Chain A
Amino acid sequence: MYEQAVVDARAAAERFLDDRFVFRREHIEIERWAREEEIDIYEGALDGAQAQLIRTRDRRRIILSDRIADHGARRFNLMHELAHLLLKHMSASLSLMCTPSKAREQRRGAKVNEVSANTFTSAVLVPARQVSSRCNPREVNLDVPWALSKEYDVSILTSAIRVTELSPQRCAAVFSKNGKVVWCAESDTFRHKIRRGTRLRAEALASCFFEDRRLDESARRLPARAWVDGDNAEIVEHSTPSIEHGTVLSMLWLPN
């Protein structure tokens, strides 16, 4: 179900970029696109979400939570809500929106629209047509995600995921917190699954951060077993922590 939603959202993003003749970074103008769709943008307290879209017969509004301090995150949230409107996603019922997220996630398909809007958003904010050629470097590490993050004004998490989506190399971006995997985005060729909720192995550099809040931030070659099973080769890990959030982003690469 998610796979098809991702394929459809990517195709929709390409059409969107074609329609707006987006060739270069400066052509990505989210606020003007929102205005073209007659959307009013608001900012305010929003406890339960980062952003909200409210469309009625007469008005369209996007409300951004004033908890979002990061500019890249604001852009992502705005585009994400615009994606829901453009992709004509059906709303969840009010009573469902008022139930805790854990209970809501158990409903089959409840997250498809979110996956679809996220995919559309990252494909528009970091367009494949502009960055694909940079996603196949000689050595995969966090250098390209850092560069794209600055250039395209998105978070390092968004750019790292985007690199794994577009890279022909065997790589993955892993986000961890409290010593466990929160999510992992693998490239099509990675051929391993690093599951959400898995505890980081002691050999992984990222695990050091959760031991003593220190982390070697250079790209390092390790035995592949530090991260994956059934691969005797080496893996390259390049990790960076967020002291503020107590998280680590790791870019993994299995050189051929």
Chain B
Amino acid sequence: MTTEPKNPSDAHNVLDVIIYEAALAGMENPRPSPKSDAWKRELLADTNERLGEMRRALLPEAAPIRRVKPPRPGLLAMTRDALIALAEQLVGKHGAEHVQFAHRDLSTLSDDDLRSLITHLEDDESGE
């Protein structure tokens, strides 16, 4: 059985008719054949491949890796306790809820690690 589109020039209408006919055919023969299964898999793989290409095209290029800036001289003279206090103060200024730290294989932050951390937090505060 076929149904003529009401207005063949209307692409949506043509698509409706094709879907309708495909649904009727599907109801008459509800078990997919190996051929239709293979076609479905191929179509899905092809569509995903194209979507993947489009998605990857949206990714920005990798930026070059930078060297960490050395700490300002004033930080070099500070004791560990003073460094921790300053870092906590800066976190407070940024708003603790907006600050996230994470480390992999953290033993403990050394004094130099704290100086580096403070340098980053101060840069962010000054908008550098």
Please state if A45 and B63 are interface contacts (CB–CB under 8 Å). Answer: no
Please, which residues of chain B bring their CB within 8 A of the CB of A58?
124, 127
Please state if A55 and B103 are interface contacts (CB–CB under 8 Å). Answer: no
Please state if B84 and A98 are interface contacts (CB–CB under 8 Å). Answer: yes
Tell me, in angstroms, the Cα distance from A29 to B86 when the chains sit together: 37
Tell me, in angstroms, the Cα distance from A50 to B102 when the chains sit together: 11
Which chain B residues in 60-96 approach chain A with CB under 8 Å? 60-63, 65-68, 80, 84, 87-88, 91, 94-95
Residues of chain B at interface, number, CB under 8 A = 45
Which chain A residues in 28-78 approach chain B with CB under 8 Å? 29, 31-36, 40-59, 61, 63-64, 77
Cβ-neighbour of B48 out of A23, A31, A33, A57 (below 8 A)? A23
Please, which residues of chain A bring their CB within 8 A of the CB of B107?
48-49, 100-101
Please state if A80 and B104 are interface contacts (CB–CB under 8 Å). Answer: yes
Interface of A is mostly: mixed
Chain A CB within 8 A of B16 CB: no
Stretch at the interface among A88-96, A178-186, A238-246: A88-96
Least Cβ–Cβ distance between B30 and chain A, in angstroms: 29
Chain A CB within 8 A of B26 CB: no
Q: Known contacts A50-B105, A99-B108; is A61 also within 8 Å of B61 by CB?
A: no
Least Cβ–Cβ distance between A245 and chain B, in angstroms: 14
Stretch at the interface among B4-12, B31-39, B51-59: B51-59
Tell me, in angstroms, the Cα distance from A49 to B114 when the chains sit together: 12
Tell me, in angstroms, the Cα distance from A48 to B60 when the chains sit together: 31
23 contacts between A and B (CB under 8 A): A21-B48, A21-B56, A40-B66, A42-B67, A42-B68, A48-B106, A48-B109, A48-B113, A49-B106, A49-B107, A50-B104, A51-B104, A52-B104, A54-B100, A55-B101, A56-B99, A57-B94, A57-B124, A91-B102, A94-B91, A94-B101, A98-B84, A98-B114
Q: Can you add 9 more A-B contacts, CB < 8 Å, to A45-B116, A47-B112?
A: A19-B55, A33-B59, A50-B105, A52-B104, A63-B68, A91-B100, A101-B106, A101-B107, A113-B102
Interface residues of A (CB under 8 A from B): 19-23, 27, 29, 31-36, 40-59, 61, 63-64, 77, 80-81, 84-85, 89-92, 94-95, 97-101, 104, 113-114, 117
Interface residues of B (CB under 8 A from A): 48-49, 51-52, 55-56, 59-63, 65-68, 80, 84, 87-88, 91, 94-95, 98-110, 112-114, 116-117, 120-121, 123-124, 127
The 10 closest A-B pairs by CB, nearest first: A44-B68, A21-B52, A31-B62, A84-B102, A47-B110, A49-B103, A55-B100, A57-B98, A53-B102, A32-B59
